[in-house]
Amino acid sequence: FLLPHSSSPQLDYSSPIYTNANFVRKCISAESCQDDLWGKLVCTNFKVSFITHNSLPRQRFQCTHRLLGEHDIPLACVEQVVTVNDVKGKQKILGSNQKLKFNPTELILYCKDFRIIRFRFDEAGPESAKKVCLAIAHYSHPADPQLLFGFEYVGKRYHGSTGERVNGVDPGGGMQTTLFDCSSDWDREIKRTGASEWRVCTINQGYFISPSLPEFFVVPVSLADQDLKQYACFFYSQRIPLWCWNHSSGSALVRMSNISDLQQQRKVEQRISSAITKSHPLRSDVFKSDLDKNLPNIQDIQAALLKLRQICVIDPFEESEEKWLSSLESSRWMEYVRTFLRHAVEVVYMLESRNVPVILLEKEDRDLSCVISCLVQLMCDPHCRSLHGFQGLIQKEWVMAGHRFLDRCNHLKKNDKEESPVFLLFLDCVWQLWNQYPAAFEFTEVYLTVLGDSMWVPIFSTFLFNCPRQRAENSRDFASSKSIHLGQDQALRFPPVWDWSQQFSLKDQTLFNNPLYVGKIATCVQNGTVKTFTHRRSKKNYSSTLRGLPSALRNGSLGPNDTLARRNSLVLRLRSDLSQVREQQETPSERFIRDFFSRPVDLQGLLLPQLLPSHLSVWKLYFLRWVPEAQIPQGGPITAFHKLSVLTDEIDMLQNQLRQYKGAGGTPNNLHAEHSKMYFKATSTPHQPPAPPEYLSSSFPFSPVGNLCRPGILGSPLSKFLNGAKIWLSTETLANETI
């Protein structure tokens, strides 16, 4: 069967319909049913789809997903299926292969992307309603990885953008992201970072040494293959230490699992440390950072997300703003974000200031080390802040290094104890950096949000497996069972998520490109001459952000007698006795941070985050986009960013036209008009009247309408705050007052 999308063009792949129910009502408003939609509720092997002929108001600039319509939910995104019979007062949480003894009058789907979606069966047949509820519960809990839709998609229906098909998959010739699945990718990374004393190791080809490591990785030149084979059995899961990155000073960042054989621990650690020391130009000693002792574990992170989901989506905004903020603090999610950022800064201090190699120690080296290694590279290496550099970073430190995406995302819903949003925590940390230095990143907040959502579209190898070996073995077994002919790789080639054309059009992908991004070299036309220069921030600081990090606020926390006033007043209050406090309490790492913030920031150099609670904020576009009360009409930071982007784009177009004019010897009017890099900008010309101002809500470019049913709260302090009360700071105030 071909299942057309309710709000997007029909695709060239099919999903078999397991069951459906007609005359279903999708609840849009809890107060009344006037705005509700009527249609057919369908369960396929990929998604839950609601097909309706009615339309909802859409934002003018809204992404259109090629795989998912506006009312579609991937089965992997369904967290919990709840059926209700309001006549009998019964409610049941459905799981796989369970029975339902009552006829449901309502279905509630709790989603992993913070949506809550309600369907009513008032007019639907009781048997069809029961069947569709049971089907959704069953197929959202697959018992085996090969039952995930990604295998069906890759095996038979996936076509690449070039039209060439290898086992159903584009061979990837046009993709620029480095996948680190071959030795040449690692060779290029060694040369890019100047790691001359490191080499590509091939002893794990065929996953002969470690089942969770990639076939190719980088080790010190002084370590022979025979020694590595001998040492492998002493580490957890035979995970030999992995090279991550080299600082320009020669200091290496390495990740390593714990040594399980305590009798051999001292000997093996000394041998590994000695080899890493020999790879350093100054033969500096190695610094070991124990992540298990200094960071929250996966259970802590999971508990924090569940509490965050409770206050962001499930609990209504009925309490005062202070109560809601207290609940947010008690979830500890923001605390954990700060903890990971702070620890990454400490590692940066060792690499940048102390000039020593660093080993990240974690018991199995598959969770916390992924976060810290990536954050360190983002702070130190501008290449990782480019779009393809960032994607290659995730491919290297998460996918190929064996992060358990299958278990941590709980795609099979087998073991809740293994579930943990480690990757989402990482994206939140990246967003905090982006929010403080938006011009330093080639990608936008929209891109980060879409990347987080892509975990629940299980057709991409990026988020589908626990390690490369699992991907290879499952794909071979599936191909054998389906009689699919394999190519030279002897495995199905799953598309990586970085092939964004599978999800979005080229027009929508322009939303990923940050027009404020400051590249390594920018061109400027001055007096008819093209000049190049490196962007640096002016020494004069126009921001209200606290630039220094006094030791009284050590580790980003206030003392017991301190209160957090406005940022400008805080600077004035601390300025008088700052020198004395520094002399008494400041540590070398704090001095390193203070010195960084006392200098102009080079957006293509080292970047350190501000770590005070006032500097970190909730990632509203991800966590609150489905909450109607959190939408900001006619303004807010999204609109401010949009207006800055439009100005930047216009300047870029004018500069290009001026360069063409100088090169062609004509006039700009005779030249072909330069195309904008932003399709969401106003297209007015000097001959046209100015276009009306564009207002973007905080859910840009997503539309929460119709995707969430919750009570509308009017008049609460928080909703007044979010609807334009004049208490915004910095860019928010500027955006609202200007408009």
Please report, in range form, the residues annotated as the binding site: 297-298
Rounded to the nearest angstrom, the gap between the alpha carbon of residue 510 and the centroid of all alpha carbons in its chain is 17
8 Å CB contact between 292 and 689: no
| CB atoms near residue 658 (< 10 Å) | 15
Under DSSP, is residue 5 helix (H, G, I), strand (E, B) or coil?
coil
8 Å CB contact between 513 and 444: yes
Dist. CA 732–CA 634, nearest whole Å: 11
8 Å CB contact between 364 and 340: no
Residue ranges for the known binding site for substrate are 297-298
Dist. CA 600–CA 538, nearest whole Å: 6
| Nearest of 253, 271, 275 to residue 361 by alpha carbon | 253
Dist. CA 701–CA 77, nearest whole Å: 20
8 Å CB contact between 594 and 365: no
Strands 242-246 and 72-74, by their bridges, are unpaired
Dist. CA 163–CA 169, nearest whole Å: 9
Q: Which residue reads 């292969």 in tokens?
A: 97
| Nearest of 301, 285, 470 to residue 370 by alpha carbon | 301
| Nearest of 413, 544, 408 to residue 141 by alpha carbon | 413
How is residue 539 annotated by DSSP? S
Residue type, 474: N
Dist. CA 77–CA 295, nearest whole Å: 28
Q: Which residues pair with 219 in a beta bridge?
A: 199
Q: What is the helix (H) or strand (E) element at residue 217, kind and residue range?
A: strand 217-220
How is residue 469 annotated by DSSP? H
Dist. CA 143–CA 148, nearest whole Å: 9
Dist. CA 369–CA 351, nearest whole Å: 16
Under DSSP, is residue 111 helix (H, G, I), strand (E, B) or coil?
strand
How is residue 528 annotated by DSSP? T
| Nearest of 306, 311, 307, 304 to residue 627 by alpha carbon | 311
Dist. CA 348–CA 497, nearest whole Å: 29
Dist. CA 353–CA 232, nearest whole Å: 32
8 Å CB contact between 418 and 404: yes
| Nearest of 249, 345, 250, 222 to residue 241 by alpha carbon | 222
Q: Which residue reads 């949480």 in tokens?
A: 93
Q: What is the helix (H) or strand (E) element at residue 48, kind and residue range?
A: strand 47-51
Give Cα separations from 726 to 543, 634, 682 (angstroms): 19, 13, 27
8 Å CB contact between 47 and 83: no
Residue type, 225: D
Instruction: Check residue 130 and give left, alpha or beta (phi > 0: left; psi -120 to 50: alpha).
Output: alpha
Dist. CA 507–CA 513, nearest whole Å: 11
Measured between its terminal Cα atoms, the distance across the chain in Å is 49
Dist. CA 203–CA 229, nearest whole Å: 8
